């Protein structure tokens, strides 16, 4: 708003302006300035007529030398205009909302909202330009017909009220927000029933000291009044003819006298020779009857309205619509049914400003909703989003909740695409979606099915929260409650469309259990369920598919009502889902195996133990025994190995076999539990035992005097003792185990013995339970030294033979090569406890402890070799 308007508002102390927010100026009417206003308490739109008194002082009084009496005449004329309007109430008379109010600086009154005066909208005057003007306003012939018809009704009302307007000009015709023409400007109106007014207005008087806006316009004055001083109701019919001519003649009046009396007289004398070819054909006879020189020759207001000029289906339609409240229910329903056929013939402005408001008003009549709504949406197609949200949506929102008659919701649901196009996404979600919710909750199956058919198209356009929290629960409730087959199938189709939107949790915890409870065996329902399961299989985890979906599909596939083709559809889906599960689980297991292999290799290579069983620190290697016992002796690392780089678990263990002997530990009754089970480590015989390089003691005895050697970052270090049930009895006395020199066996070097020769320290073995399967498995005889022809692939025939002389190294290396070929998961279970007189062999005998004394003796009597029965070990437990 400009600063001039602000200063103007601040100078006004009128009570009317204090109750309204004054917006932009929209038009002028004589001395009045018309502003758009908003009621502060209600926000209602109005038009505010304001006359600023100081404008008269500046513009007229000083220039014309008018007296104070002339100024008072202007004030009285303006107040009379407003008061006369307030006295008259008719649809064709400008409606006054607040009566005239005068203050020290202004005169004002409030009317219904307006677009402007007819003079302003038709651009009859070029002396006023406003930002609020409708620059694109072009009057259509139908609008002129409608407007003149409304003015004719207003003139008939004035005739019945014995009122003569006396100044019916384009500036006294106002166009309201609906496009209706309203009569105003009654400042010169004469109430014939009031003798005082009639006597004072019997003659035409032009005052040079008054503004032209405060005097009767000769271009629209009747000759009998100007020339003969005769005041009759026929005066206004002549003015109506002049008004109609100016409207059809682009605003140029018929007489065009410039308020000069002599010019007026001359024009009146040539009135009969006027040419009306510019008028519409049916209107030419009408305008001649209106512009007759003598009042008796003119037609009346009733005759004007019934003339052929208004004999038009569109005009008749608008007339019927204006009197719609007076019609019967049957007439209203018939009118609404036929209105759709003629709506496309109306100008857009007539549809938007005249017909649409009338139809929206009729939405309150719920019985006519099935007939009214299609007509409303026929006009809505021509509106943009802003116009729809401002003009139509507020009236439609209450209708969304009306359930009776059911046809109402069906018609609205059919127009849901239009509603979605005409509203922003947020508005559609908040204001339009309640219609869908109400339809889903409606008791009529026809309405439910109509709503369900719309949901699939909406699911992709709605956001996740709306679908999950609003749409899905209602469809779910309807699925459980309905007993109608078509509704049940439609709900399944909705589920299928919503799977792409909802989250996996909702599918797994709500949708899958819901489908599992289906009882009906109808093929339509079962095939729809099959489609939903097929779509679920693309999103859910393999575990749910395997344990929940596939079993249910198998049960459904044996439905008694399914034919061969339908059964094949089930089989096809079952095969696809089964293959999907198989591929996914196979891929998972391959990934797990690969990860385990990588972890095992990394753990083996990152072990801090070197090949001599010593801990390497920089260039020096400290003996583990010396380290834990506090001695600072160090030895240089001795590189040993068989030269193989195969990344095999057993080869790594062989290459990393310790040369330092391990201090044996005496097991007591306080030994720790093994693998949290009821087994404890004990020695089962008195023979000297040895520990495999792959094995390590599980836990030290509470009475042990020697430290326990812990495995260093080697995941394959297991205790070679056998398992025996725990008991409260003390273990049998044990003998110390002997040392194993793996490096000497591999490289034919002298073993380095780092054992403390303390026979009281023993390493326990685990005795197997009495029910052990190993007790019945005999050990295999050892192969002949240096005569092994080929490496057996079966573990049942594989044994490792030690040699006491240096020439047996080849055989040892050959056996180690065979050992590298074993699966990495194979490990020896328990060391042999038999006594050997020769130097330690490179591998301990794998043999169960539950052997008879005779078996032990026979085994010791063999050629000094330890047997390794690898079939006694089951890698899978």
Question: Looking at the DSSP assignment, which residues form a beta bridge with residue 35?
Answer: 25, 48
pLDDT at 668: 38
pLDDT at 497: 92
Residue 762: exposed, middle, or buried by beta-carbon count in 10 A (0-12, 13-18, 19+)? buried
- How many angstroms separate the CA atoms of 430 and 428, rounded? 6
**How far from each other are the two terminal CA atoms of the chain, in whole angstroms?**
91
Superfamily for domain range 3-310: Transferase(Phosphotransferase) domain 1 (1.10.510.10)
Helix boundaries (H) for 254-328:
261-269, 281-290, 301-305, 313-322
- How many angstroms separate the CA atoms of 16 and 48, rounded? 9
Q: Are 254 and 222 in contact (CB under 8 A)?
A: no
In the predicted structure, residue 837 carries a pLDDT above the cut 70: no
CATH 1.10.510.10 domain extents, the chain: 3-310
Percentage of the chain lying above the pLDDT 70 cut: 64
What are the pLDDT digits (tens) for 473-516? 999 999 999 989 999 999 999 999 999 999 999 999 999 999 99
- How many angstroms separate the CA atoms of 434 and 426, rounded? 13
Upper half-sphere CA count for residue 383 (Cβ side, 13 Å) = 24
| Residue 163 CA from chain centroid, whole number | 63
Q: Which of 740, 638, 627, 749 is nearest to 693 (CA)?
A: 740
Angle made by CA atoms 274, 277, 279, in degrees to the nearest 5: 100
What are the pLDDT digits (tens) for 424-463? 999 999 999 999 999 999 999 999 999 999 999 888 888 8
- How many angstroms separate the CA atoms of 277 and 284, rounded? 7
Least confident of 73-82, 197-206, 235-244: 197-206
In the predicted structure, residue 771 carries a pLDDT above the cut 50: no
| Residue 16 CA from chain centroid, whole number | 48
Q: Are 823 and 813 in contact (CB under 8 A)?
A: no
* Contacting residues for 414 by C-beta, under 8 A, at least 6 apart: 450
More confident residue, 458 or 806: 458
- How many angstroms separate the CA atoms of 305 and 155, rounded? 10
- How many angstroms separate the CA atoms of 764 and 689, rounded? 9
Q: Are 662 and 764 in contact (CB under 8 A)?
A: no
| Mean pLDDT (whole number) for 177-202 | 82
What are the pLDDT digits (tens) for 462-484? 889 999 999 999 999 999 999 89
SS3 603: helix
DSSP calls for 479-518: HHH---HHHHHHHHHHHHHHTTTS-HHHIIIIIHHHHHT-
- How many angstroms separate the CA atoms of 256 and 147, rounded? 23
For the record, the structure tokens of 856 come out as 């032990």
- How many angstroms separate the CA atoms of 232 and 301, rounded? 13
């Amino acid at each position: 708003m400009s600063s001039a308007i602000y200063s103007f508002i601040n100078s006004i102390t009128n009570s009317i302006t204090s109750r309204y927010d004054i917006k932009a100026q929209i038009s002028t009417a004589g001395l009045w300035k018309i502003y758009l206003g908003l009621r502060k308490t209600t926000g209602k739109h109005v038009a505010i007529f304001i006359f600023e008194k100081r404008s008269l002082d500046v513009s007229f009084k000083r220039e014309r030398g008018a007296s104070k009496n002339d100024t008072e005449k202007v004030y009285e004329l303006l107040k009379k205009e407003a008061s006369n309007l307030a006295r008259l109430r008719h649809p064709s008379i400008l409606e006054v909302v607040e009566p005239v109010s005068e203050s020290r600086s202004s005169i004002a009154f409030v009317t219904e909202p307006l677009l402007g005066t007819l003079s302003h909208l038709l651009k009859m005057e070029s002396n006023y330009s406003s930002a609020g003007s409708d620059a694109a306003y072009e009057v259509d012939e139908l609008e002129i017909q409608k407007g003149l018809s409304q003015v004719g009704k207003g003139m008939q009302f004035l005739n019945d009220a014995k009122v003569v307007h006396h100044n019916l000009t384009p500036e006294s015709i106002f166009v309201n927000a609906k496009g209706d023409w309203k009569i105003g400007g009654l400042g010169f109106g004469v109430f014939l029933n009031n003798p005082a007014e009639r006597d004072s207005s019997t003659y035409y008087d032009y005052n040079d000291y008054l503004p032209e806006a405060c005097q009767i316009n000769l271009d629209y004055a009747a000759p009998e009044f100007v020339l003969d001083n005769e005041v009759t109701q026929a005066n206004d019919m002549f003015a109506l003819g002049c008004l109609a001519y100016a409207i059809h003649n682009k605003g140029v009046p018929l007489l065009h006298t410039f308020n000069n009396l002599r010019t007026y007289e001359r024009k009146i004398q040539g009135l009969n020779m006027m040419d009306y070819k510019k008028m519409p054909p049916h209107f030419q006879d009408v305008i001649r009857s209106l512009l007759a020189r003598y009042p008796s020759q003119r037609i009346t207001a009733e005759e004007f309205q019934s003339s052929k000029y208004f004999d038009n289906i569109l005009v008749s339609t608008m007339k019927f619509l204006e009197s719609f409240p007076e019609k019967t229910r049957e007439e209203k329903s018939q009118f609404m049914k036929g209105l759709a056929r003629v709506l496309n013939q109306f100008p857009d402005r007539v549809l938007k400003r005249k017909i649409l408001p009338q139809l929206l008003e009729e939405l309150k009549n719920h019985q006519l909703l099935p007939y009214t709504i299609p007509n409303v949406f026929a006009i809505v197609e021509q509106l943009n989003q802003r116009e729809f949200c401002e003009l139509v949506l507020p009236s439609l929102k209450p209708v969304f909740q009306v359930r009776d008659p059911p046809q109402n919701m069906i018609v609205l649901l059919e127009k849901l695409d239009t509603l979605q196009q005409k509203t922003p996404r947020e508005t559609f979600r908040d204001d339009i979606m309640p219609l869908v919710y109400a339809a889903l909750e409606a008791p009529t199956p026809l309405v439910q099915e109509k709503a369900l058919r719309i949901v699939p198209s909406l699911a992709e356009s709605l956001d996740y929260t709306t679908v999950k929290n609003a749409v899905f629960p209602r469809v779910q409730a309807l699925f459980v409650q309905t007993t109608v087959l078509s509704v049940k199938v439609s709900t399944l189709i909705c589920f299928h469309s919503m799977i792409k939107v909802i989250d996996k949790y909702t599918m797994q915890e709500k949708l899958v259990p819901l489908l599992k409870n289906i009882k009906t065996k109808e093929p339509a329902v079962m095939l729809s369920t099959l489609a939903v399961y097929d779509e679920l299989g693309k999103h859910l985890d393999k575990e749910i598919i395997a344990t929940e979906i596939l079993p249910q599909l198998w049960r459904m596939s044996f439905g008694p009502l399914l034919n061969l083709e339908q059964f094949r559809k089930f089989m096809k889906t079952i095969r696809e889902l089964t293959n999907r599960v198989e591929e996914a689980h196979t891929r998972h297991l391959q990934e797990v195996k690969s990860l385990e292999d990588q972890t095992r290799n990394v753990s083996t290579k990152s072990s801090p133990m070197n090949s001599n069983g010593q801990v390497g620190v920089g260039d020096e290697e400290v003996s583990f025994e010396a380290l834990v016992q506090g001695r600072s002796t160090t030895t240089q690392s001795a590189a040993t190995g068989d030269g193989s780089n195969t990344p095999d678990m057993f080869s790594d263990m062989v290459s990393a076999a310790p040369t330092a002997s391990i201090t044996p530990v005496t097991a007591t009754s306080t030994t720790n539990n093994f693998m949290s089970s009821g087994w404890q480590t004990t020695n089962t015989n008195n023979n000297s035992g040895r520990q495999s390089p792959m094995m390590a003691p599980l836990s030290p005895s509470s009475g042990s005097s020697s430290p326990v050697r812990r495995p260093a970052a080697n995941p394959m270090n297991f205790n070679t003792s056998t398992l025996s049930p725990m008991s409260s009895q003390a273990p049998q006395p044990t003998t110390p185990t002997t040392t194993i020199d793996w490096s000497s066996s591999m490289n034919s070097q002298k073993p380095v013995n780092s054992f403390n020769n303390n026979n009281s320290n023993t390493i326990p073995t685990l005795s197997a339970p009495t029910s052990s399967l190993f007790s019945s498995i005999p050990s295999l005889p050892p192969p002949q030294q240096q005569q092994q022809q080929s490496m057996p692939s079966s573990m049942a025939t594989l044994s490792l033979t030690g040699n006491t002389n240096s020439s047996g190294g080849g055989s040892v290396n050959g056996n180690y090569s065979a050992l590298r070929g074993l699966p990495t998961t194979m490990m020896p279970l328990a060391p042999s406890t038999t006594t050997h007189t020769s130097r330690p062999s490179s591998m301990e005998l794998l043999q169960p402890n539950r052997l008879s004394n005779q078996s032990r003796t026979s085994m010791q009597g063999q050629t000094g070799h330890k047997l390794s029965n690898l079939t006694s070990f089951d890698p899978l437990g």
